[in-house]
Amino acid sequence: MSVLKITDVSKIFAGPTVAVDNFSLEVGDGELVCLLGPSGSGKSTLLRMVGGFERPTSGLMTIDGDDITQLPPERRPTGMVFQSHALWTHMNVFKNLAFGLKLRGLPKEQITEKVEAVLELVGLAGYGTRGVNQLSGGQQQRVALARSLVLEPKILLLDEPFASLDQHLRERLREEVRDIQQRLKITTLFVTHGQDEALAMADRIVVMRDGRTEQIDRPDVVYREPQTPFVAGFIGTMNLIEGEVSKGRFARADFRIDIPIPDGPATLAIRPEALDLEAAEAGVAQVHRVTDYGTHGLVDLDLGDGTRLKAMVAHPDLFSEGQKVNLKPQAMAAYRDNARVYRS
């Protein structure tokens, strides 16, 4: 039953570099919120500020109404899982998990009980006596998670916890972590630069760029209705076409399409799955490459001025290199001045 509230938090490093710029967010009880952004977007700095490893230059952070802004990490009710696992290699698994409990002065039997329970929870029952270097990457990550969970933190912080694992393991672990998080109903803040991870795990996604929020929404909304061209380009694959609108008509190279917005420059965004192709002798685009993925195909297109587009097609065998096609977008959005001005 914990709510994390971040209000107008900024972090300016010497330089000066603004890492986080006036950021606000409320993570509801039991909610998993993903901070998503490219490297340098300030997401890790923000997480480290919540964990107490960086002090905000300004702003306020509370957990259940209690001000934690100036507390050192050891006095915060947060548990952090690090990207590098950061397991203590001179201790075995049991000692790694028991360390925090010992610091809290718990009796021995209770420590053993809690450690065994949490090992069971992460699927590592009976691994207590193993050295951490004897474990695989995935097992180490589970121990790192267990080390945080065993202390029953109010807020769980995950800093790119799967970044060092291979794709297959990453997918399995993120499901497990999501399951555990929902079973324990623990309020969680999760940092990642992988959009798949964010889309698969989060209740809400915060897309960050240059220390600022670009959009906060449910994953499906972020995917379907990106509010800025940055979000549009960052989540999923997106064709972003810069062009000019004149008299309600968008133009780029030979490509023309009606968009009812005032004259001026605009960025058109079309998902590959929403871009239909029609073979035509005098088509506006030329097929550059066709890739058959079995379930679907991907056609790379060239607008003739170097602009590259991608279209997802059901029958890739219908298209061949050098062929001319016309573009029939089924859905699209237009952006101007970093805001969405049109959507169909």
Partner 1 sequence: MKQLAPALVMASGRRKSIPVRIPTDWTGIIFAVVLSAAVILPLLVVGVWAFTEVWRYPNVIPQQFGLRFWNQTLTRADVWSALTLSLQLSTVVTLLSAAICLPAAYAFARLSFPGRNVLFFSFLAGHAFPKFGLLIAIAAIFLQLNLIGTFWGVVLIQLVGTLLFMIWIPVAAFQSVDRRMEEAARDVGAGPFRVFWSITLPQAGPTIAAAVLLSFVGTFYETEGAWLIGAPGIRTMPVLMISFINNQMVIQYGAVLSVMLWVPSFIALMFARRVIGGGAFARGFGG
Report, in Å, the least distance between residue 148 CB and partner 1.
7
CB of 99 to partner 1, least distance (A): 6
Report the residue number, 131 or 236, with the smaller CB distance to partner 1: 131
CB of 95 to partner 1, least distance (A): 10
Q: Least Å distance between CB 76 and partner 1? A: 8
**Minimum distance from CB of 115 to partner 1 (Å)?**
13
d(C-alpha 147, C-alpha 103), whole Å: 13
Q: Between 86 and 298, name the residue whose CB sits nearer to partner 1.
A: 86
Rounded CA separation 160/178 (Å): 14
Which pair of tokens denotes residue 21?
A: 């710029």
Which CB sits closer to partner 1, 159 or 214? 159
Which C-beta is closer to partner 1: that of 80 or that of 202?
80
Distance CA 120, CA 118 (A): 5
**Least distance (Å) between residue 263 CB and partner 1:** 53
Using an 8 Å Cβ cutoff, are 129 and 50 in contact? no
Smallest gap from residue 97 Cβ to partner 1 (A)? 9
Pairing state of beta strands 58-63 and 4-13? Answer: antiparallel
Closer CB to partner 1, 100 or 138, in the complex: 100
Tokens representing 165 are 């694992």
Closest C-alpha to 189, from 74, 35, 41: 35
Distance from C-alpha of 252 to C-alpha of 95, rounded to nearest angstrom: 63
Rounded to a whole number of angstroms, the minimum distance from the CB of residue 171 to partner 1 is 24
When the beta carbons of 79 and 243 are compared against partner 1, the nearer one is 79
Question: What is the edge-to-edge ordering of all strands in the sheet holding 239-246?
Answer: 255-258, 249-252, 239-246, 264-270, 333-336, 339-343
Q: Which strands, in side-by-side order, build the sheet including 297-302?
A: 275-279, 324-329, 285-292, 297-302, 308-313
Residues 6+ apart with CB under 8 A from 251: 243, 244, 245
Taking the least distance from each CB to partner 1, the nearer of 145 and 303 is 145
- Compare residues 72 and 123 and give the one whose CB is closer to partner 1: 72
**Alpha carbon 168 to its chain's center:** 18
CA 215 to CA 36: how far, in whole Å? 10
User: Where on the chain is the footprint of partner 1 (CB under 8 A)?
Assistant: 51-53, 72-75, 78-80, 82-84, 86-90, 99-100, 103-104, 144, 147-148, 151
